[in-house]
Amino acid sequence: MNRRHFLQLLGSVGMTAVTLRHGPLQAADPNRHYIFVHAGGGWDPTSLCDPKGNTPRADNRGPVNHYAVNDIGEVGNGIRYAPFPDPDLATSTLRDDMAITSFDAFFNDLASDLLVINGIDMQTNNHDTGTRTMWSGSDVQTQPALGALIAQADAPDSPLAFLTNGGYDYSDGLIAPTRVSGSGIFRELAYPERYNTAPDANLDDDATYYLHPDIHQMVDSARTRRLQKLITDTRLPQRRVAMSRLYTVQGSDSNLHRLIDALPASPSGGLRGQAEVAIAAFQSQVASCANLTVGGFDTHGDHDRNQSFSLASLIDGVHYLWSLINSAGLSDRVTVLVGSDFGRTPYYNGGNGKDHWNVTSMLAFGAGVSGNRVVGGTNAHYEALTVDPATLMPSTTGGAVRLTCGHIHHALRRLAGIENDAVARQYALEGGYLPIFG
Amino acid sequence: MLVVLFALLPACGGGDYDGNDEATPIESAPGSGSDSESSTRGRSIYVAQCQVCHGSSGNGSAAGPSLIDCPSCSSTNSLSTLISNTMPTGNSQQCEGQCAVDVSNYILTAFNDGTPDDEPPSEEPPDPEPPEPPSGGGINVDGQSAYTNQCASCHGSNGTGTPQGPSLIACGSCQSLAVLSERIANTMPLGNSAQCTGDCAGNIAEYILQAFNDQVIGDAAQLLDEILLSDLKTTLRKASLNLAGRLPVANELSDLEFRGEEAFDEILGNIMRESAFYARMMEIWNDFLLQNKYLGGENAISLLRNNDFPQRRWFDELGLNRDDPGEERDLYFWLREQANDAMAQEALRLITYILKNDRPITEMLTGNFIVANYYSARSYGVEGQRSWKTLSNPTFPDYPYDPEDFQPIRLYDPQYGAFPHAGVMTSIMFLNRFPTTPTNRNRHRSRITYKLFLDTDVLLLDGTRPVDAEDINSPNPVLDNPNCSICHSVVDPVASIYQNWSDLGQFRPTSQTGGWHTDMEQRGFKGEPMPLAGNADSSVRWLAEQIVADPRFTKSLVKTLYTGITGQAPIPVPEADVPEDAPQRRAYLAQDAYFQQLANNLATEGNSAAGTNYNLRNTIRAIVKGPYFRATSLQSGADTAAHAYSGSDRLLTPEMLHRKLVATLGLPWQRSNRDRLLDLTGNGLHILYGGMDSDSIITRITEPNGLIASTQKRMASQMACEAVARDFFLFPNERALFPYMHPDDSLLDNNGNIDPDVNTLVISNLQHLHWALLGVDARADDPEILELRNLMAAIQARGLELIDEGGHYLRGRLHFACDLTNDPETGEALPDEERIVEDANYMLRTWQALLVYYLSDYRFVYE
């Protein structure tokens, strides 16, 4: 049990007083937002942003990749990227099912914005631990996701502060993550007391309500008074905590009506759809952070073909997200991070697949990120290289360090302005600050 | 072949498995003496702490790798660092600093050909203060010392257990000094029981009882006694809704009032025989086993290989026209659904089969069978094994077999013969849900086995990650590199046990298919190798027998049921530096002792000869009647901080809320004939309301958020709208909501005052609603009842004003979405006089508003 959590729990429900948040809207911080895109299952950065090619390994394990070294692309300031992992797939009849069959457009369009962090040592190759480490900076089981830390600091009263489509969304009780299952239901939930929520409904007409709004208001007030009294009367801390949480969310305006106004008329599916909801939530100032996810990266068999499908969905979705951010004028307010559980082995197994490997990469762009750069690195066998702590270039000098998620999250906390947040400080990170994001 | 890292290694680093390391670290005199003196000291420490796993010659055992030429044996520095950080497993603080240096020097001198180097140890200089002497004070000091040296590495320094050994708090052998002494003398340490007999065993037993039982259990009892319990009537309502999705009926309540606890036990026993209870058990177990992933379509059937089960799609061979709407198409999809879903849930159905037939729950692992209904048995090609129950009025007369009739079957592989079943663990569905790969070698399945059935998270094994994690250069790191073997020595023997089952869940005995990997630990459990004779092809069954004999098995069952029934996760293990008397440690120890007692009772209640022990119903009854489920308040003067987790108030899961609506209103919440809270599709609310799909979403949201609050409001508005007219349509004695009222009753008279006659009826009906919807037995003069009556008066008054003001509400009728013009049962149009449309005095809408209040109240959306 995390002591901080325990003390917070007791403090918040101290038997003498309860601080309840209830009342008019307090929207998320309108100035800064964060999106965490999780490639579920463990992606292969050598098939994307840390390419090696088909040079045979000296230890006779075969090549790291099947594609030719000459097919590796490069944009901007040394950002190298792999060709599409399965060229046969790209030209096969299955191409109609795939969003993209090349990474060229993505890297060309984003080059000036993109920061590639290579050679991150995840110190694990377990899915659960890796996912937690990637998005919290630590393998400790009670470590909350960075999104939860930022949301509790920036928008503690917003009921939708931390939107999540999966990935790592553990909050250690700091804030309630909101699970999004599709945008089609939002209109009904935006107007929960109305019978008619159709897009063409006249919202000024009281007849759209099940009961007259005055009556709903009377009921709400009575229920709120009752809950306040229950909270005051109960002597059971566990019950008081539960009541207080409900009191908080019942009394807050979720502002879903603003969110649905910002959503496109015809929402997309997949990662594109997740991106649309996140950006609409930011535009309408109802959310602070969002988790987006794409799965299918656990390619123990037929690696090139299966990574192709998942990378196509991922890169297409992230590319679309980038364009949405720009078209919404949010490029100075939204930071995007793309990562995964870990990487995959720098050789193929007997099933032409790749197993788990503790070295991986991250992509970052957006507000606060100095782009057109690559930091960190790996050798020809895709082993992490130590880096100079100032330049972040591979180095073997005395002070050189091995990049970990602890370093990255130190930098992210500083970027998000929560480095000294009292709550965030309760969740320790290993590794010091490095100027990773510029 | 070199093996790299596997999917379980990581966690070395978590560090705090038992989190309770209170033992004083054993340290030799700091930095003093020569290497030979250090080595001499190291030898005595090695014998006491290391030998049991690594062997007297350092050549290893099933419980620990060889130390001869080990990867970290290149220098005192590297080896002592490793020992300081990781050894003994589960209690790494026991030997740090000079202690680790001394042991390293001994290992290098005795088992490796080099002599210790002169590198200084990398740790900070050890604390110059001598170690604190044992505190004594009623504690057997000799026993404490012996326990620390011989037992703590497996059972934890404070007896709370590690992956190597179970908790000793309230342990099964802890009922008396004699029993525990004998147990220790005869069995401990594992594999070397001669090491501690006589006084040694007696001292340790006394220490265990003093330190981990008398004191802890006494404190636990005191803490739990501070919890005030709900009365039996309230408890029965809560249990009935929780376990069977219904309210207690009138004769049950009257019986309870008359006969008290005896009736309670009887009614609860009956509830635990209802079909809804078995469905609830499957729901609880699925949260852990995640088998519902394969429901629907052919998701389960497609996991079978055609060569293994050529009948798997038997319904395809019937020549049914499935393209055109009609009875044949309906039959085709019905048959497919019965076969697929029975197969998908076979592990869950096995558990309910055991419950229904009062068999010991140990059979969920040890049973040499799986269960099937006629339809899934036919897919497996074994429908002839059983005589299947038929329905008197089946949906499709050609297929009269009851889909709910699940019976034991044994599967056969065309090439390798009869499956050596081990209950859930060899279910093809289970093996597919927790898959493996050629390089993972069943390690994932091993981890899941520990987690699900042994109350052990191997990811929390003590240890640290190597600085260079990409160890592909050691000849065999999982055996030779202690950084790896610390986890693999626990995980791999169990992983190897699954060797007869392929990544697709097929029975493929390695004795006939080319053997198993030789570069990993071979089959075994808790340091004991599996005897090959008679077990080679049925090793999972051997494992099952070991698991059910392990005290952690019953504890894992107890925790599963506790979590499912109360909605509360067990209290996490406190961090190591939390003091013994700190509230959170008291809370944890009290609950752990409570769990252990339930686990002991599960194993011992009933008659083992008659097979009536291991009955889960006893455990469920104990949980329902226990302090956590029934907590309603605390005694004055109670240590509030230590009760932070006392209670079981939970945000209802979408499934539970769905059932509660049906139970209380007689109506499901639906749209387009789909149950909204169960609907997993895009416009469904199941995931949004915190549910899971057992596939990509495998955890529940337990705290409300903005969307959940909006969903509650919408549910309350819509269901109140639908329920009022429908309930008033029924005869008063049939009504769930308004048995005391007539639709024309008006609380306010023509002068706007409360009508005293109607007031009496309204008060009675509010009492009824308070009990039915909130579970609160309120008196007529309860302030909350009176407040609600006043709210009703205010709502009706405002409603009458709205009618007077004109506009939409002038019409004096219900909203067309809320009126009743068709018979709710038949759907036929009602004659005008039976329709419920008019509401001239705004009273029906007043009740509708009251229902909105009730359905969005904390006490409705929580239980």
Domain boundaries, chain B: 25-111, 279-425, 437-535, 654-861
Q: Is it the case that residue B354 has pLDDT exceeding 80?
A: yes
Q: Which of A20, A121, A152, A185 to mutate to test the interface with B (most CBs of B within 10 A)?
A: A185
Quick check: A337 pLDDT over 90?
A: yes
Cβ of B855 under 8 Å from any chain A Cβ? no
pLDDT for the residue numbered B806: 78
Predicted confidence at residue B810, as pLDDT, reads 57
- Å from A287 to nearest chain B CA? 11
Strand A33-39 relative to strand B407-409, pairing: unpaired
Residues of A within 8 A of B815 (CB-CB) are 195, 207, 210-211
- Domains of chain A, each with CATH number or no CATH: 1-30+188-252 (no CATH), 32-183+263-426 (3.40.720.10)
pLDDT digits (tens, 9 = 90+) for A275-288: 999 999 999 888 99
Confidence of residue B356 (pLDDT cuts 50, 70, 90): very high
Average pLDDT estimate for A326-348: 96
| Residue from B73, A375, B121 nearest A385 by CA | A375
What gap in Å lies between CA B597 and CA B221, rounded to an integer?
Answer: 11
Q: For the segment B187-245, what is each residue's pLDDT rounded down to a tens digit?
A: 787 667 778 888 888 888 888 888 888 777 888 889 999 999 999 999 999 999 999 99
Cβ pair B11:A212 closer than 8 A: no
Q: Do A160 and B705 touch (CB under 8 A)?
A: yes
Residue B574's closest chain A neighbor by CA?
A: A1
Do A249 and B794 count as a contact with CB atoms less than 8 A apart? no
CB contact under 8 Å between B856 and A223, yes or no, is: yes
Mean pLDDT of A46-56: 96
**With a CB-CB cutoff of 8 Å, which residues 434-453 of chain B face chain A?**
437-440
With contact defined as beta carbons under 8 Å apart, do B454 and B556 qualify? Answer: yes
Q: What is the 3-state secondary structure (H, E, C) of chain A?
A: CCHHHHHHHHHHCCCCCCCCCCCCCCCCCCCCEEEEEEECCCCCHHHCCCCCCCCECCCCCCECCCCCHHHCEEECCCEEECCCCCHHHHHCHHHHHCCCCCCHHHHHHHCCCCEEEEEEECCCCCHHHHHHHHHHCCCCCCCCCHHHHHHHHHCCCCCCCEEECCCCCCCCCCCCCEECCCCCCHHHHHCCCECCCCCCCCCCCHHHECCCHHHHHHHHHHHHHHHHHHHHHCCCHHHHHHHHHHHHHHHCCCCHHHHHHHCCCCCCCHHHHHHHHHHHHHHCCCCCEEEEEECCCCCCCCHHHHHHHHHHHHHHHHHHHHHHHHHCCCCCCEEEEEEECCEECCCCCCCCCCCEECEEEEEEEECCCCCCEEECCECCCCCECCECCCCCCECCCCCCECCCHHHHHHHHHHHHCCCCCCCHHHCCCCCCCCCCCC
Which residue's entry shows tokens 């006394």? B206
* pLDDT (average), residues B543-548: 97
| 581-600 of B, contacting A, C-beta below 8 A | 583-584, 588
Report pLDDT digits (tens) over A228-241: 999 999 999 999 99
**Is pLDDT of B462 > 70?**
no
Bridge-based pairing state of the strands A115-121 and A373-375: parallel
Highest mean pLDDT out of A198-202, A242-246, B497-501, B586-590 = B497-501
Determine, for residues A210 and B690 on separate chains, whether the beta-carbon distance falls below 8 Å. Answer: no
Quick check: B791 contacting A, CB < 8 Å?
A: yes
pLDDT for the residue B459: 78
CA B721 to chain A, closest CA, distance in angstroms equals 7
A181 contacts in B (CB within 8 Å)?
A: 682, 684-688
| Mean residue pLDDT across chain A | 88
| 3-class secondary structure, B674 | strand
- Please indicate whether, in this complex, the C-beta atoms of B640 and A237 are within 8 angstroms of each other: yes
Is pLDDT larger for residue A408 or for residue B473? Answer: A408
Confidence band for B91, pLDDT divided at 50, 70 and 90 = low
Q: Model confidence at B656, in pLDDT bands (50, 70, 90)? A: very high
**Per-residue pLDDT tens for A71-93?**
999 999 999 999 998 888 776 65
3-class secondary structure, B28: coil
Q: What pLDDT does B32 receive? A: 44
DSSP string, B610-630: TT-SS-HHHHHHHHHTSHHHH
**pLDDT, tens digit (0-9, with 9 covering 90-100), for B385-427:** 999 999 999 999 999 999 999 999 999 999 999 999 999 999 9
Q: What is the mean pLDDT of residues B812-828?
A: 92
Per-residue pLDDT averaged across A149-176, rounded?
86
Which residues in chain A are contacts of B459 at CB distance < 8 A? Answer: 126, 128-129
What number is the average pLDDT over the span A356-384?
Answer: 96
pLDDT band at A408 (very low <50, low <70, confident <90, very high): very high
CATH annotation of B25-111: 1.10.760.10
Picking from B468, B710, B773, B795 by the largest number of A CB atoms within 10 A of its own CB, the best residue to mutate is: B710
Whether chain A has a CB inside 8 Å of the CB on B778: the answer is no
Residue B850 scores a pLDDT above 70: yes
Q: Do B465 and A158 touch (CB under 8 A)?
A: no
Cβ contact, residue pair B9, A189, below 8 Å? no
pLDDT score of B88: 67
Res. B117: pLDDT tops 70: no
Test B696 with A2 for CB contact under 8 angstroms: no
The reply to whether B190 touches chain A by the CB within 8 Å rule is no
pLDDT category, A327, cuts 50, 70, 90?
very high
Kindly state the helix (H) or strand (E) to which residue B40 belongs, with its residue range. helix B35-45
The model's pLDDT over A149-160, given as tens digits with 9 standing for 90+, comes to: 999 888 877 768
Q: A1 vs B584: CB contact, 8 Å cut-off?
A: yes
State whether B460 and A141 contact (CB < 8 Å). yes
Q: Which two tokens stand for residue B731?
A: 């005869």
Q: What is the C-alpha to C-alpha distance for residues A27 and B472, in angstroms, rounded to an integer?
A: 51
Phi, psi (deg, nearest 5) at residue B670: -130, 160
CA B788 vs. chain centroid, Å, equals 40
Res. B30: pLDDT tops 50:
no
Distances (CA, A) of A87 to A97, A295, A402: 15, 21, 34
pLDDT of residue A16: 31
Chain A residues with CB-CB distance to B784 below 8 A? 226
Pick the range with the lowest mean pLDDT from A5-19, A189-203, A387-401, B97-111.
A5-19
Percent of chain B residues past pLDDT 70, beyond the cut:
85
* Residues in chain B within 8 Å Cβ distance of A173: 703
Whether residue A15 is predicted with pLDDT greater than 70 in this model: the reply is no
Residue B66 has pLDDT above 80, yes or no: no
Confidence of residue A253 (pLDDT cuts 50, 70, 90): confident
pLDDT in tens, B170-188: 777 777 788 888 888 877 8
Report the DSSP beta bridge partners of residue A364: A115, A337
pLDDT at B606 over 90: no
Chain B nearest CA to A112, separation (Å): 33
Contact list, A357 vs chain B (CB under 8 Å): 4-5, 470
Spatial CB neighbours of A11, under 8 Å, sequence gap ≥ 6: none
Contacts of B639 in chain A (CB under 8 A): none
Average pLDDT, chain B: 86
User: By mean pLDDT, which of B112-116, B296-300, B531-535 is the weakest?
Assistant: B112-116
> What confidence tier does B72 reach under pLDDT thresholds 50, 70, 90?
low
Q: With a cut of 80, say whether residue B463 has pLDDT above it.
A: no
- What is the share, in percent, of chain A residues with pLDDT greater than 90? 63
